Amino acid sequence: MSAGTPKSLPSSGQKSIQEVCHPLSAEEPVLPPSPDGGSTTTTKDLSLPNGNAVDTSSPASSSSLLNRLQLDDDLDGETRDLFVTVDDPKKHVSTMETYITYRVSTKTTRTEFDLPEYSVRRRYQDFDWLRNKLEDSQPTHLIPPLPEKFVMKGVVDRFSEEFVETRRKALDKFLKRVADHPVLSFNEHFNVFLSAKDLNKRQGLALLSKMGESVKYVTGGYKLRLRPVEFAAMGDYLDVFTQKLGTIDRIAQRIIKEQSEYLVELREYGPVYSSWASSEEEALQEPLDGVAGCVANCCSALEEQTEDMSEDFLPVLREYILYIESMKNVLKKRDQVQAEYEAKLEAVAFREDKKTPVPTDVEKCQDRVECFNADLKADWDRWQNNKRQDFRQLLTGMADKNIQYYEKCLAAWESLIPLLQDKQEAKVETN
């Protein structure tokens, strides 16, 4: 269900985002990431997954071609080595609580995993745990969103088929997005989540020790003076995009409401024809009953379409709004890191002896800024691509649902015509 992701990341280093061409454009080459989790030094060693060096000169270089092709779903299966699925929701009732678990199935050839296949059961709070761990351990990366945690009891039935199915789809999407991410998919917490029989959350803490150093990004008190142009552009885009998605959400809700009210009237409309038919003789009775039947068919088609909109369209839209919030937060964190660096740099600039080298912690800050920027840009591009595919899929799906609705209605009405017209002609002949 999730979009195919390009394996290699375009990392522009210190270039502005406008200078970095879209992977689908013919110019710049694309650079693969280093496969270890977390950010280290910038990836100046350019090599393709198959080990060949990247040809950065010609526009039609194989790397850009590969990247172009990798957006095609068909080719993706050949390059992916980790497949994750969420399905089979089951209800668990205990004395303390009632909850749902989902089966998480994994197939992989990666050496980081002990077995090629796994099947475990997880509940929502396990997913929540994973997400928090990912956010903490990969602060420079954009973590996909989870479906809403809290649902108002009494308003929504947490155990209804529709709700569970909607949630399952969102959880499936979440894991697939993580699995497709070249950095996040190698995260140890992710590994544990997929493979551990019993997700003991304490396990996660032990693993943290290794990651400890890279995790602690100072977020205290530093204020960024000016966001660099490329990131400011991202922020602006996200602001407008959020707004537009919000509008689309409201329009979709309004349409659902109008359709529901239309349905109410239609349900009253059809039976009037039936009632009329009962006071008529055969000549008129059959056509009237026929019309009543058509209207009834249209009613059920409409009901189905409206349900689909509620269950498939709206949740995905809302999920993207959450995604945007995550991205905004990552941008803010990046600002923090840059602010810290700039503050420290300024402090150093005021010391008297300009001949002594810049202290290492300022250097470390600089590294952090550069890494964060690189990771963020890479994630941004991937996110843009995925967004494009996701919305293409979402909107064509919506169009499809509408087409199917009209096709059902059309079939009903078309089947009525020959019934009526034959009789009419036959009557003329017999007289």
Partner 1 sequence: EETLLWLRGCGPRDMVEKGTTLLKRMEISVAEAEKRTGKNAVSMQETYTVYLIETRAVDAASEGANPAPDSLWRRYSEFELLRNYLLVTYPFVVVPPLPEKRAEFVWHKLSADNMDPDFVERRRVGLENFLLRVASHPVLSNDNIFYSFLTQEQSWKEVVFETGFQAKADSRLKALNATFRVKNPDKRFAEMKHYGDELQSVISQLLRVRARVADRLYGVYKVHGNYGRVFSEWSAIEKEMGDGLQSAGHHMDAYAASVDDILEEEEHYADQLKEYLFYTEALRAVCRKHELCQFELEMAAQDLTSKKQQREELATGTVRTFSLKGMTSKLFGQETPEQREAKLKTLETQIEDGEEMVKEKNAECEEFVKNAWVDIERFKEQKDRDLKEALISYAIMQISMCKKGIQVWSNAKECFSKM
Task: Rule CB under 8 A: say whether 268 interacts with partner 1.
Answer: yes
Task: Rule CB under 8 A: say whether 410 interacts with partner 1.
Answer: yes
Q: Whole-angstrom Cα distance, residue 162 to residue 123?
A: 17
Beta pairing, strands 117-123 & 82-93: unpaired
Q: Whole-angstrom Cα distance, residue 373 to residue 330?
A: 10
Q: Which is nearer to partner 1, 121 or 401 (CB)?
A: 401
- Beta carbons of 26 and 407 less than 8 angstroms apart: no
Q: Whole-angstrom Cα distance, residue 415 to residue 417?
A: 6
Helix, strand, coil distribution of the chain in percent, nearest 5: 60, 10, 30
Task: Count interface residues toward partner 1 (CB under 8 A).
Answer: 57
Minimum distance, C-beta of residue 241 to partner 1, in the bound complex (Å): 7
Give the other-Cβ count within 10 Å of 149's Cβ.
9
CA distances from 384 to 6, 374, 424 (A): 12, 15, 60
Taking CB under 8 A as the criterion, the residue among 251, 345, 347, 426 binding partner 1 is 251
Task: Rule CB under 8 A: say whether 68 interacts with partner 1.
Answer: no
Q: Which is nearer to partner 1, 83 or 276 (CB)?
A: 276
Q: Which is nearer to partner 1, 98 or 260 (CB)?
A: 260
Q: What is the longest distance spanned by two Cα atoms in the chain?
A: 117
Angle (CA) 209-215-217 rounded to 5° is 145
Q: Which is nearer to partner 1, 123 or 328 (CB)?
A: 328
Q: Which is nearer to partner 1, 232 or 417 (CB)?
A: 417
The beta-carbon contacts of 164-168 under 8 Å, at least 24 apart in sequence, are 164/89, 164/100, 165/89, 165/311, 166/311, 166/315, 167/100, 167/124, 168/86, 168/87, 168/89, 168/102
Q: Which is nearer to partner 1, 264 or 345 (CB)?
A: 264
Task: Rule CB under 8 A: say whether 272 interacts with partner 1.
Answer: yes
Q: Considering only residues 219-238, where is the footprint of partner 1 by CB under 8 A?
A: 237
Taking CB under 8 A as the criterion, the residue among 20, 86, 288, 309 binding partner 1 is 288
Q: Which is nearer to partner 1, 163 or 241 (CB)?
A: 241
Per-residue contact flags (x/-) with partner 1 for residues 9 to 48, judged by CB under 8 A: -------------x-x------------------------
Task: Rule CB under 8 A: say whether 294 interacts with partner 1.
Answer: yes
Task: Rule CB under 8 A: say whether 345 interacts with partner 1.
Answer: no
Taking CB under 8 A as the criterion, the residue among 45, 88, 261, 346 binding partner 1 is 261
Question: In sequence order, what are the residues at sequence separation of 6 or more whose Cβ sits closer than 8 angstroms to the Cβ of residue 313?
Answer: 252, 394, 397, 398
Task: Rule CB under 8 A: say whether 426 interacts with partner 1.
Answer: no
Task: Rule CB under 8 A: say whether 422 interacts with partner 1.
Answer: no
Question: In sequence order, what are the residues at sequence separation of 6 or more whose Cβ sits closer than 8 angstroms to the Cβ of residue 283?
Answer: 427
The CA radius of gyration of the chain, in Å to the nearest whole number, is 28
Interface residues toward partner 1, by CB under 8 A: 22, 24, 237, 240-241, 244, 247-248, 251, 254-255, 258-259, 261-262, 264-266, 268-269, 272-273, 275-276, 279, 281, 283-284, 287-288, 290-291, 294, 388, 391-392, 395-396, 399-400, 402-403, 405-407, 409-410, 413-414, 416-417, 420-421, 424, 427-428, 431
